[in-house]
Amino acid sequence: MSLEPLFSPVEHLDEWLTGYFEGAPLAVALGLALVLGLRHASDPDHLVAVTSLMASDDADSRRAARLGAWWGLGHAAMLLAIGLPLIAFKSELPTWLEGGADKAVGVSTPRSAARARRS
């Protein structure tokens, strides 16, 4: 089963939106960052992670919400810790680090899915 029909409408959305950052006022840049962040949050690896957190808490919605909030805060903190210096120095992630991060996601996503299935 191909998932291509699900992803093809938004395949180039990031590149298209990023093009509007050049010379944009701060309010526009922040709005675009919000849209890109929401799109990022709907990536399959994020959905699996949050689903596994929710499924693992035995229907205790408060505990699951607290755990999800901590996961989100940790994720946001790492994005800021890595992203702000990259923006400040007008740089980008080294290829080796980006590849390593992708591999880490590739390992952790199936583990999260397996955790959700066991719950």
Same-domain pairing of 108 and 62: yes
Residue 52 burial (CB < 10 Å; 0-12/13-18/19+)?
A: buried
pLDDT per residue as tens digits for the range 55-95: 766 667 788 778 778 888 888 898 889 888 988 888 988 99
Calculate what percentage of the chain has a pLDDT beyond 70. Answer: 85
What range defines the domain where residue 71 resides? 43-119
Q: Between 24 and 5, whose confidence is greater? A: 24
Same-domain pairing of 103 and 118: yes
Same-domain pairing of 35 and 67: no
Whole-Å CA distances, 67 to 64, 72, 74, 90, 95: 5, 9, 11, 34, 32
Same-domain pairing of 108 and 52: yes
Kindly tell me if the per-residue pLDDT of 35 is higher than 80: yes
Same-domain pairing of 69 and 111: yes
Domain count within the chain: 2
Same-domain pairing of 53 and 95: yes
- pTM, to two decimals: 0.58
pLDDT per residue as tens digits for the range 91-109: 988 999 888 988 888 888 7
